[in-house]
Structure 1
Amino acid sequence: MDFNSLAADFENSLISMNKNKARSIFKTIEKFEDRIFFIENSVVPALRKIGECWESGETSLAQVYMSGKICEEIIGDFSHEAGMRPAAKPKIGIATLEDHHCLGKRIVSSVVRSAGYHLTDFGHGISALELSKAASEDKTEILLVSVLMLHSALKISELKKFLAASGAKTRIIAGGAPFIFDDSLWKNVGADASGRGAFDAVRLIKEQSERTDA
């Protein structure tokens, strides 16, 4: 089986937002272990590449969003058929802090779930205090925080203080426009990491998970 050819065709199907073609390509892979290999070495890299192309202006936000949704559905169906469950660890949460836009959070959620993680969505327009309570009660280990405006990004420092006061050791990964414009902002507000796009989330989750376990 020519995995390189399949990977290229799969990536093109995502870029063209052709869900049926993407599904048919994945279904040509019959063995369980080959499907796992394809997910790890073709699906996730394809999503990352599409995200990088969006950052350079070569793909649209709609393509990024739909490619994530398509992969989320395909892998979700595969996991269900194989009796697999999303990774229970680390416990991951996501929310849009203060702001009411949801697109960024939806894209990140799709990508993270496509990588096999379970994700608790704490919603949007939520305050720092409300989010800290929800994350503490859920025993969230890694919290993905999306923001659109600078004033919302600055609220992460309050979120960090509320979490610390509750005794939670939740690690915060920040994302959104303010952190792209100022690549040192995440440090200034007390976040543990920040990504430029949705596809950084999976890598950062792995990194922060290793630090949590250490």
Structure 2
Amino acid sequence: MIDDDLKCFVRYLLDADEQKAWEFLYSYIIDGKDSLYIFEQVLTPALRYIGYLWEENAISVADEHIASSICHFLMTKYSVVSETGKTNVAKDKPKAMFTCVEGEEHALGLKMVAALFDEYGWDTRLMGSNTPTTDIIAFANRWRPDIICLSLSTVYSIPHLIQTIKALEKLSFNPQIIIGGRVISIYTLDEFISENLKIFKDLTSLNEWLRTNKEHQNKYVTN
């Protein structure tokens, strides 16, 4: 579970109190906490606790949606205040696109992932939730990213994940495929996943991978 401070933060989210929720989050910025800490130690556990409350019938779907909406607001405001993504990089940035698979509505975690890529100097495109496989493929063919990140939070999205992976693996420019999300952190999906994909179960391991690749001359797409 989470501590009392985070429970207060969750209450601000559920009450749609943008001001108090932002003041709570901003206190971590003042204390010098980086994006990884704020995402992994504040927002993620708060969202998981909200999910737990919903599973226990302590809150409604409407409550969960309100809290998620406030979190999206906080993420947008944080990106402006912290100036994430405004790094000095070479003109030809590596490119990464981010999308939830078809049927998957939870995109906040994916938004955090995209923010981390921004901070490491990537050119990013965030497609958000519930993107049809055909549209994912069409955009990928048009933009030709180095990396394609897929997210899923429910087991019901696994068939769409498998379908999307199979389609992406047929792309002629052979992008690196990264998979993450709540389901990945809970279940083992090795039987569904081919060996040439990367799986990250948390933001800490993803951040370490980004940092290591940054130190190796931006050769991001090596396994």
Q: 2:217 maps to what in 1?
A: none
Letter in 2 for 1:126: T
Letter in 1 for 2:105: L
SS class of match (1:187): coil
Note closer, same or farther for the CA distance 1:81–1:186 as it changes in structure 2 (3 Å cut): same
CA distance in 1, matches of 2:99, 2:158: 16
Q: 1:126 maps to what in 2?
A: 133
Whose helix fraction is larger, Structure 1's or Structure 2's?
Answer: 1
- C-alpha displacement of 1:203: 3.5
CA distance in 2, matches of 1:64, 1:116: 25
Letter in 2 for 1:95: T
The runs of 5 or more residues in structure 2 that have no matched partner are 88-92, 119-123, 214-219
- C-alpha displacement of 1:78: 4.7
Q: 2:204 maps to what in 1?
A: 203
Counting aligned pairs with the same residue, the percent is 13
Whose strand fraction is larger, Structure 1's or Structure 2's?
Answer: 1
The runs of 5 or more residues in structure 1 that have no matched partner are none
Q: Does 1:74 align with 2:74?
A: yes
Note closer, same or farther for the CA distance 1:91–1:62 as it changes in structure 2 (3 Å cut): farther
Which residue of 105, 112, 126 corresponds with 1:103?
Answer: 105
Note closer, same or farther for the CA distance 1:18–1:120 as it changes in structure 2 (3 Å cut): same
Q: Is the 8 A contact 1:92 1:140 kept in 2?
A: yes
Note closer, same or farther for the CA distance 1:77–1:153 as it changes in structure 2 (3 Å cut): closer
Q: 2:13 maps to what in 1?
A: 14
- The 5 A counterparts of 1:21-36 are 21-26=20-25, 29=27, 34=30, 36=32
Computed over aligned residues only, the root mean square deviation of the Cα atoms, in angstroms, reads 4.4
Note closer, same or farther for the CA distance 1:208–1:13 as it changes in structure 2 (3 Å cut): same
Q: 1:166 maps to what in 2?
A: 173
Q: Is the 8 A contact 2:97 2:145 kept in 1?
A: no
- C-alpha displacement of 1:179: 8.9
CA distance in 1, matches of 2:208, 2:80: 27
Q: Is the 8 A contact 1:94 1:144 kept in 2?
A: yes
* Count of aligned pairs: 194
CA distance in 1, matches of 2:112, 2:192: 21
Letter in 1 for 2:108: I
TM-score (norm 1): 0.60
CA distance in 2, matches of 1:91, 1:64: 32
Note closer, same or farther for the CA distance 1:47–1:71 as it changes in structure 2 (3 Å cut): same
CA distance in 2, matches of 1:125, 1:39: 30
- The 5 A counterparts of 1:161-200 are 161-163=169-171, 165-168=172-175, 170-175=176-181, 183-188=189-194, 191-193=197-199, 195=201, 200=202
Q: Does 1:93 align with 2:97?
A: yes
CA distance in 1, matches of 2:205, 2:145: 19
